């Protein structure tokens, strides 16, 4: 099946949406590394699901609406998207900041959801004010970021091989990522007090060597969501879907089918 990329207008916002595959609906929310449709795991998911993957405004060369200034704007945009598409029994899956957005959606309204899957999600701060729960990726030198993001840092982007256009898109992605996650950094102080409202089966998938949000952070997240399960993928960092795509899909499919 050919990939379908369209632009939907929601409340005056032009939202680029990638839609591919057939089967139960899966709303896939990408992280700060941008759209996931080029990854092998995306193709695997489209074999089983009707995957709906919006591009967060500001990423991949898209425009950030003037009134957008934080995560809440994405959350309500995707609540509107589910209404506009009249999605029912949708599997909501989010990576990193997309996982944070997915959790924020679920605490507001699960009436359209069947399952929730969070992959190395940020969004909470389980420690006290002196504890660095989430590594400050914006404060690290560029060469250090792959060391905290990947089990194998060589999997990081090769900046020397990128075109000027690709570097420009990467820079704009970084600006958008900061807009949605900077203040307060990578979390909503109130989210941990709302996660008890999630009433759909929830799976957390984590890279064993994630040095941005560790497995201990994942365990704190799991305890706050009633009945949630946590699986840890070895030899993977913050992006297990990239470093261990087969293991990643092997955890998603039975959870959804269960």
Strands (DSSP E) found in the chain? 4-10, 13-20, 25-29, 50-54, 90-95, 113-119, 202-207, 229-233
For 67, the token pair is: 């009134």
What spatial distance separates the first Cα and last Cα of the chain, rounded to whole Å?
Answer: 26
> How large is the average pLDDT for residues 119-139?
94
Binned at pLDDT 50, 70 and 90, residue 142 comes out as: confident
The model's pLDDT over 202-251, given as tens digits with 9 standing for 90+, comes to 999 999 999 999 999 999 999 999 999 999 999 999 999 999 999 999 99
Strand, helix or coil for residue 203: strand
Report whether 90 contacts 26 (CB < 8 A): yes
CA gap 34, 13 in Å, rounded? 19
For 58, the token pair is: 């500001």
Q: How is domain 4-257 classified at the CATH fold level? A: Rossmann fold (3.40.50)
CA gap 179, 147 in Å, rounded? 23
Domain ranges of the chain: 4-257
**Is a pLDDT exceeding 90 seen at residue 156?**
no
**Is a pLDDT exceeding 70 seen at residue 23?**
yes
User: Distances in Å between the alpha carbon of 190 and those of 107, 124, 125, 186, 244?
Assistant: 11, 8, 9, 12, 32
Determine what percent of the chain is predicted with pLDDT higher than 70: 99
* Residue 79 bridge partners (DSSP): none
> How large is the average pLDDT for residues 8-27?
97
pLDDT attached to residue 3: 55
User: In this predicted model, which residue has the larger pLDDT, 258 or 36?
Assistant: 36
For 63, the token pair is: 């425009």
From the CB of residue 131, how many other CB atoms can be counted at a distance below 10 Å?
A: 9
pLDDT attached to residue 158: 86
**Is a pLDDT exceeding 50 seen at residue 174?**
yes
The model's pLDDT over 55-84, given as tens digits with 9 standing for 90+, comes to 999 999 999 999 999 999 999 999 999 999
CA gap 111, 67 in Å, rounded? 27
From the CB of residue 167, how many other CB atoms can be counted at a distance below 10 Å?
A: 12
From the CB of residue 49, how many other CB atoms can be counted at a distance below 10 Å?
A: 23
- Beta pairing class for 113-119 and 50-54: unpaired
Burial of 156 (0-12, 13-18, 19+ CB in 10 A): middle
Tell the residue number behind the tokens 């899966």, with chain if given. 26
Report whether 177 contacts 32 (CB < 8 A): yes
CA gap 52, 15 in Å, rounded? 12
Containing H/E element for 16? strand 13-20
What is the edge-to-edge ordering of all strands in the sheet holding 229-233? 4-10, 13-20, 50-54, 25-29, 90-95, 113-119, 202-207, 229-233
pLDDT attached to residue 253: 97
**Is a pLDDT exceeding 80 seen at residue 1?**
no
């Amino acid at each position: 099946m050919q990939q379908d990329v369209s632009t939907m207008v929601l409340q005056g916002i032009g939202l680029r949406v990638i839609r591919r595959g057939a089967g139960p609906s899966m709303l896939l929310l990408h992280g700060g590394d941008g759209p996931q449709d080029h990854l092998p795991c995306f193709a695997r998911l489209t074999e089983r699901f009707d995957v709906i993957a919006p591009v967060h405004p500001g990423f991949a060369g898209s425009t950030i609406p003037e009134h957008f200034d934080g995560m809440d704007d994405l959350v309500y945009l995707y609540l509107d998207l589910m209404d506009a598409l009249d999605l029912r029994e949708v599997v909501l899956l989010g990576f990193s900041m997309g996982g944070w957005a997915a959790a924020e959606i679920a605490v507001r309204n699960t009436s359209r959801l069947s399952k929730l899957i969070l992959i190395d999600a940020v969004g909470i701060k389980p420690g006290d004010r002196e504890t660095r729960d989430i590594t400050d990726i914006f404060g690290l030198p560029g060469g250090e970021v792959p060391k905290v993001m990947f089990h194998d840092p060589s999997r990081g982007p090769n900046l020397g091989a990128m075109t000027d256009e690709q570097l420009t898109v990467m820079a704009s992605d970084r600006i958008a990522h900061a807009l949605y996650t900077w203040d307060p950094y990578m979390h909503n102080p109130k989210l941990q007090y709302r996660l008890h409202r999630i009433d759909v089966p929830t799976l957390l998938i984590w890279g064993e060597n994630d040095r941005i949000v560790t497995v201990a952070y994942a365990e704190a997240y799991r305890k706050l969501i009633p009945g949630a399960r946590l699986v840890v993928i070895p030899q993977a960092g913050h992006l297990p879907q990239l470093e261990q795509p087969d293991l990643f899909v092997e955890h998603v499919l039975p959870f959804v089918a269960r």
